[in-house]
Amino acid sequence: MDEDLLTIGAFSRATLLSPKALRGYHESGLLVPAVVDARTGYRGYTPGPAVRPA
């Protein structure tokens, strides 16, 4: 996975949303990851303004 992408765990910690919630939001189309690995199903999220370090 791209080094600039956050794993679901890292994105979860940064946004205070559980991985289970993130998966549900992805399935419903509310919060779609930048990339989903076709082989493993791993999701990669881009850091946005809410998750960038100060």
The CATH number that applies at residue 13 is 1.10.1660.10
pLDDT tens digit at each of 54 positions of the chain: 667 899 999 999 999 999 999 999 999 998 999 999 999 999 999 987 654 444
Neighbours of 12 (CB within 10 A): 17
This prediction's pTM: 0.80
Structural domain including 7 reads: 1-54
pLDDT at 49: 64
Structure confidence at residue 51 (pLDDT): 47
> CA-CA distance, 8 to 26, in Å (whole number)?
11
The tally of domains found in the chain comes to 1
pLDDT at position 47 is 86
